């Protein structure tokens, strides 16, 4: 399976422009025959907790229809980040568009204390991608909660797919932690991060892929948008454009 992770520079609060930028990166992934592509945490709004309540929407928002159409046409799974509203409140969501299926939503279960004023925890969920039960999802702070990766491993995941908005300083802890998860649980680990200002911090990019031994297989820089595509069967990095 060819899995892509995107590195974006979100435009604060501008969902339409961020959608267009997402579509350009999806086109790159399609040119490399990717089967799946994941975007950073809250990628369609930028990581802006103070704006989340105003910008929150639902997976069936008509503005997201293009993602479903692309998924249907090209047989690719697309995971985008945005605040999701329901009766419980606003979740930090990862919405996955599958070919010819209803969207799947994963809501962040473990919030950083700084997020608790703006969001509610998602329901207890396996966090596995539909029809691909060997792939588990995680959103940012969840990689700091040991039980999250352990649960994914116990559920049979061989791939740990993480969508984050990590600052330059936060990456100093996140990168070795993700390499350790890969090595400890013999899982292939992917991290999709953003660059540029977000939520009062500067995001540090370095979108990355690790193999099951915890070795870094590919990493983007800390300034530019782009993608990484990695073939989990051949263990080859297809592109770092």
What are the domain boundaries of the chain? 2-239
Cα dihedral 11→206→47→119 (10° resolution): 160
- pLDDT at residue 241, rounded to an integer: 54
CA-to-CA separations, 16 to 63, 82, 131, in angstroms, rounded? 8, 12, 29
Residue ranges in the chain whose pLDDT is less than 50: none
Q: Rounded to whole angstroms, what are the CA distances from 13 to 49, 56, 60, 235? A: 10, 10, 19, 37
Residue 170, classed as helix, strand or coil, is: helix
Which of the 8 DSSP states describes residue 148? Answer: H
In this prediction, residue 120 carries a pLDDT of 97
* Domain 2-239 annotated CATH 3.60.110.10: yes
Euclidean distance between CA atoms 204 and 223, whole angstroms: 7
DSSP 124: P
Cα angle: 157, vertex 172, 180; to 5 degrees? 30
Which string of b and e fits 89-109 if b means at least 16 CB within 10 Å? ebbbbbbbbbeeeebbbbbbb
CA 145 remoteness from chain centre: 17
Give pLDDT, residue 124. Answer: 87
pLDDT of residue 168: 94
pTM of the prediction?
A: 0.96
Give the pLDDT of residue 240: 56
């Amino acid at each position: 399976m060819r899995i892509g992770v995107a590195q974006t520079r979100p435009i604060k609060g501008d969902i339409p422009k961020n959608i267009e930028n997402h579509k350009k990166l999806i086109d790159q992934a399609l040119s490399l025959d990717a089967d799946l592509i994941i975007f950073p945490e809250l990628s369609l709004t930028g990581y802006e907790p103070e704006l989340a309540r105003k910008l929150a929407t639902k997976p069936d928002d008509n503005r997201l229809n293009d993602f479903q159409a692309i998924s249907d046409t090209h047989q690719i799974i697309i995971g985008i980040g945005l605040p999701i509203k329901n009766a419980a409140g606003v979740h930090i969501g990862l919405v996955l568009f599958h070919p010819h299926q209803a969207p799947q939503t994963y809501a962040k279960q473990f919030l950083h204390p700084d997020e608790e004023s703006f969001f509610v925890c998602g329901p207890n969920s396996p966090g596995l991608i539909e029809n691909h039960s060997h792939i588990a999802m995680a959103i940012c702070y969840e990689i700091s909660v040991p039980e999250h990766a352990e649960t994914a491993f116990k559920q049979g995941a061989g791939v740990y797919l993480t969508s984050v908005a990590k600052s330059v300083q936060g990456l100093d802890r996140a990168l070795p932690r993700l390499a350790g998860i890969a090595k400890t649980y013999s899982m292939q680990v992917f991290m999709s991060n953003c660059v540029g200002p977000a939520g009062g911090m500067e995001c540090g990019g370095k979108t990355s892929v690790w193999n099951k031994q915890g070795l870094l297989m590919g990493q983007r820089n800390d300034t530019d948008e782009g993608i990484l595509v990695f073939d989990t069967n051949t263990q080859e990095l297809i592109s770092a454009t």
